[in-house]
Chain A
């Protein structure tokens, strides 16, 4: 347990992806089975202990610590798991700390009635870090900045295999993954994917620059619209139906309407969108109503129905189609989708074009606001997992830009911790003669290292107020720094004072030349909001 706890502590404080990767590989290499496998399960969200609830922890701790002292402590620390782990009275039992696998076993067999005693017994046996890890493990949500994808990447590095191989196997495996580790260490054969309706790693596209296009033969490529929904894979085999996200997470539970219509045998690749294919397609903010939900209400299903716009076929009637060239897959797909319920499935249309210029014209004037560009797919290419260079390209619509004024700057993390590198920017609102800035977004990339130094210096020289790691900088019509911010779109938001939220904002240019008074006004952004 102590190794797992130490890993969590280090991950929380290591901002760099490479640093995290290294810590994970190091852990998998030095911690034996089955503990490393349970660690992997914890990081990938594969463990669930419904019997332990935060309220129970609070009750437990106040049986042992004066409630007033606990309240002072909680108020100071701010996080329940951390407070409990720190104030829990040490029993001197740290020497016989249980292994992670034992902690998992005890939590998994605890019933709702004996969970408090099980939890208290664990906390008595662990160090403060161990207690923190046990609480995070029991209540779910480690929040150490490691995605399932990163954990699998670490496995790939550890075993010297491609991450796609792991993803392809993943959904048929169970904690503590001893067979997987044995294979990765070269001690056993690759585990067979025994799971019905498994996920197949998806094929991804490279962005293409206009200059590159001239090197490409237009007739070798087919084009489709690039839809701004979420990439999904619908798999139905042997009576099992599963809907996967692009990283292979099973998201079936959130979309019963679509899963209910999966009356086929095969694996489809496409875009999940809101609306009805025949009536019209909803916006990305409509789709957001359906994302990140564990359960969906009847009203939600009626108001925001989802459908799948299909663009590839991986398996049809038990036959793997991935080795076929795109053109053949496309023909199969067209027949396949034609037989499916039309309210839930349609075919992403091809966009005919004779030359790049014609396609560019279409890309700039898409027929629907949910289109964010075009996809180019080589007609002779098989379906390849990962992001191979050449067969698939995305040619996005140009981003939106706005001229905004820098308002606050915050210190970065890790390598950038001595720089003010996270910027909150605003645009003007209120009467023209007495405008005020309203914050509209935050960006922390898009600039070069040299520009970062310039902005950092500017922030330090123009600070008007400091709160912890944040500095407010001078921002008036006559004095301030204008940032040209690029972004992919706008959503309505009730959480932001401005009423809108930017998607993927980044700094496009520093406009040292531009007086802040000439930056954009909020009305310019509101005009870009989807209707509703």
Chain B
């Protein structure tokens, strides 16, 4: 059997496949990149060629402009693509619209790179599919037993209850611009909320893109209109990127009540530090239970861990009798989510 390091290894630029001469989610410009999804720390501009799903390519073009890479190629879900002596396939990861895991295979060995993923239901993207493999490279953003994400509809219920209890306050909810914001709005619609949702300018293009991709978000209005006084009426829900919460932007609303939709909100102290009154535990990353269950489902004999709290998941693998090692890849941050 071949050495796994000939199939994938870490290099300063990112995860590298020597045999196929390509990188997965490289953090610096490279000749040939495979990109799992459109979040900025995975999808960067300036590569020679990019292979990704249609949605990820569209999102990159939206963020970086049409010339974000020398050449692009669309990977259809489940379709096998040969690259030198290596076969790759993209499978849904359930993280955000267009997000994929990438299976890399040669000489009977298969490694699956999870990218970012989650297992809980999300009306805005295709669900994660566990892919049997020899080695599973998993993310570990919420890899501590304290992270157990409750059902998202329960958290949406908290938001709607707060709107009913404080009808005079504008509820500003921080949500990551790509994925979380659209999921939050879609979940509000599922819960029967029909009022317009007011969105920060930074979300406009991505929301429009989700709609064009067939994800219905209902009536959306800009939260702030230059030179007009069309402020959202009291009791409205405003969705904004998390960075806007602590900034002067949030001051213009009537008696704002700050919420934040993130897996980090599981920890009270995190919510407190950010001045969040309404923490909503809604995450686009797998929680502890999802991470450990998924490792089991892939049947992998070996797990490589990246992107978060590697040491705790490595400990769990040790207890479960699965070989594991942290893969120290530079350049990824705790996503603000």
Bound CA span A93–B96, Å: 33
Q: State whether A72 touches B309 (Cβ < 8 A).
A: yes
Tell me the nearest residue of chain A to B158, going by C-beta.
A6
- Indicate if A529 sits at the interface (CB-CB under 8 A): no
Bound CA span A468–B272, Å: 12
Per-residue interface assignment for chain B, residues 123 to 146, with 1 indicating a CB less than 8 Å from any chain A CB and 0 otherwise: 000000000000000000000111
Q: State whether A13 touches B279 (Cβ < 8 A).
A: yes
- Indicate if B247 sits at the interface (CB-CB under 8 A): yes
Q: Within the complex, which residue of A12, A87, A415, A418 is in contact with B146, where a contact is CB–CB below 8 Å? A: A87
Within 8 A of A (CB), among B279-323: 279, 309, 311-312, 315-316, 319
Closest beta carbon of chain B to A1's beta carbon, Å: 17
Closest beta carbon of chain A to B157's beta carbon, Å: 12
Within 8 A of A (CB), among B245-291: 245-251, 255-256, 258, 266-269, 271-279
Q: State whether A83 touches B246 (Cβ < 8 A).
A: no
Within 8 A of B (CB), among A434-471: 468-469
Chain A residues near B246: list those with CB within 8 A: 411, 417-418
Closest beta carbon of chain A to B111's beta carbon, Å: 26
Chain B residues near A418: list those with CB within 8 A: 245-251
Tell me the nearest residue of chain A to B273, going by C-beta.
A469
Closest beta carbon of chain B to A295's beta carbon, Å: 32
- Indicate if B148 sits at the interface (CB-CB under 8 A): yes
- Residue among B146, B249, B250 with the highest chain A CB neighbour number at 10 A: B146
Bound CA span A12–B278, Å: 11
Q: Within the complex, which residue of B145, B165, B256, B277 is in contact with A69, where a contact is CB–CB below 8 Å? A: B145
Tell me the nearest residue of chain A to B312, going by C-beta.
A72
Closest beta carbon of chain A to B186's beta carbon, Å: 26
Q: State whether B315 touches A72 (Cβ < 8 A).
A: yes
Bound CA span A413–B256, Å: 12
Bound CA span A83–B271, Å: 15
Q: A76-B144, A77-B146 are in contact. Are A417 and B275 (CB under 8 A)?
A: yes
Closest beta carbon of chain B to A21's beta carbon, Å: 13
Bound CA span A86–B311, Å: 19
Per-residue interface assignment for chain B, residues 232 to 251, with 1 indicating a CB less than 8 Å from any chain A CB and 0 otherwise: 00000000000001111111
Q: State whether A79 touches B269 (Cβ < 8 A).
A: yes
Closest beta carbon of chain B to A125's beta carbon, Å: 17
Per-residue interface assignment for chain A, residues 498 to 514, with 1 indicating a CB less than 8 Å from any chain B CB and 0 otherwise: 00000000000000000
Chain B residues near A83: list those with CB within 8 A: 146
Closest beta carbon of chain A to B270's beta carbon, Å: 9
- Indicate if A66 sits at the interface (CB-CB under 8 A): yes
- Residue among B145, B255, B312 with the highest chain A CB neighbour number at 10 A: B145
Chain A residues near B258: list those with CB within 8 A: 417
Bound CA span A128–B272, Å: 18
Tell me the nearest residue of chain A to B271, going by C-beta.
A13
Bound CA span A528–B1, Å: 81
Tell me the nearest residue of chain B to A456, going by C-beta.
B248
Closest beta carbon of chain A to B11's beta carbon, Å: 28
Q: State whether A72 touches B275 (Cβ < 8 A).
A: no
Q: Is the interface of B mostly helix, strand, loop or mixed?
A: mixed
Chain A residues near B165: list those with CB within 8 A: 26
Chain A residues near B247: list those with CB within 8 A: 418
- Indicate if A240 sits at the interface (CB-CB under 8 A): no
Q: State whether A414 touches B316 (Cβ < 8 A).
A: no
Per-residue interface assignment for chain A, residues 71 to 93, with 1 indicating a CB less than 8 Å from any chain B CB and 0 otherwise: 01100111100110011001000
- Indicate if A14 sits at the interface (CB-CB under 8 A): yes
Q: State whether B145 touches A12 (Cβ < 8 A).
A: no
Q: What range describes how many residues of A lie at the interface?
A: 20 to 34
Q: State whether A414 touches B275 (Cβ < 8 A).
A: yes
- Indicate if A65 sits at the interface (CB-CB under 8 A): yes
- Indicate if A68 sits at the interface (CB-CB under 8 A): yes
Closest beta carbon of chain A to B1's beta carbon, Å: 32
Per-residue interface assignment for chain A, residues 7 to 27, with 1 indicating a CB less than 8 Å from any chain B CB and 0 otherwise: 001001111000100000010
Q: Within the complex, which residue of A12, A72, A90, A415 is in contact with B272, where a contact is CB–CB below 8 Å? A: A12
Closest beta carbon of chain B to A420's beta carbon, Å: 10
Q: State whether B268 touches A69 (Cβ < 8 A).
A: no
Q: Within the complex, which residue of B145, B251, B268, B274 is in contact with A9, where a contact is CB–CB below 8 Å? A: B268
Q: State whether A128 touches B273 (Cβ < 8 A).
A: no
Chain A residues near B251: list those with CB within 8 A: 418
Q: State whether B269 touches A78 (Cβ < 8 A).
A: yes
Bound CA span A296–B272, Å: 36
Bound CA span A78–B267, Å: 10
Bound CA span A9–B162, Å: 13
Q: State whether B311 touches A72 (Cβ < 8 A).
A: yes
Q: A12-B272, A82-B267 are in contact. Are A90 and B146 (CB under 8 A)?
A: no
Per-residue interface assignment for chain A, residues 111 to 149, with 1 indicating a CB less than 8 Å from any chain B CB and 0 otherwise: 000000000000000001000000000000000000000
Chain A residues near B268: list those with CB within 8 A: 9, 12-13, 79, 82
Per-residue interface assignment for chain A, residues 85 to 104, with 1 indicating a CB less than 8 Å from any chain B CB and 0 otherwise: 01100100000000000000
- Residue among A15, A19, A418 with the highest chain B CB neighbour number at 10 A: A418
- Indicate if A412 sits at the interface (CB-CB under 8 A): yes
Tell me the nearest residue of chain B to A468, going by C-beta.
B273
Bound CA span A469–B271, Å: 12
Bound CA span A72–B246, Å: 29
Q: State whether A66 touches B319 (Cβ < 8 A).
A: yes
Q: State whether A66 touches B315 (Cβ < 8 A).
A: yes
Chain A residues near B316: list those with CB within 8 A: 66, 69
Closest beta carbon of chain B to A322's beta carbon, Å: 41
Q: State whether B269 touches A413 (Cβ < 8 A).
A: no
Closest beta carbon of chain B to A178's beta carbon, Å: 26
Q: A13-B272, A78-B269, A415-B255 are in contact. Are A69 and B148 (CB under 8 A)?
A: no
Chain B residues near A413: list those with CB within 8 A: 275
Q: Within the complex, which residue of B245, B250, B266, B278 is in contact with A13, where a contact is CB–CB below 8 Å? A: B278
Closest beta carbon of chain B to A27's beta carbon, Å: 12
Chain B residues near A469: list those with CB within 8 A: 273-274
Closest beta carbon of chain A to B285's beta carbon, Å: 15
Q: State whether B272 touches A86 (Cβ < 8 A).
A: no
Q: Within the complex, which residue of A13, A65, A417 is in contact with B145, where a contact is CB–CB below 8 Å? A: A65
Chain B residues near A15: list those with CB within 8 A: 275, 277
Closest beta carbon of chain B to A467's beta carbon, Å: 12
* A–B complex contacts, Cβ < 8 Å, 22 sampled: A9-B268, A13-B272, A65-B145, A69-B144, A69-B145, A69-B312, A69-B316, A70-B145, A72-B144, A72-B315, A76-B144, A77-B146, A77-B267, A78-B269, A87-B146, A413-B275, A415-B255, A417-B246, A418-B245, A418-B249, A418-B250, A418-B251
Additional pairs, 9, CB under 8 Å, beyond known A13-B271, A469-B273: A13-B268, A13-B272, A13-B277, A13-B278, A72-B309, A73-B146, A78-B269, A86-B267, A418-B245
A interface with B by C-beta (< 8 Å)? 9, 12-15, 19, 26, 65-66, 68-70, 72-73, 76-79, 82-83, 86-87, 90, 128, 411-415, 417-418, 468-469
Q: Give me the 4 closest cross-chain CB pairs, A-B, nearest first.
A: A417-B275, A86-B146, A87-B145, A72-B312
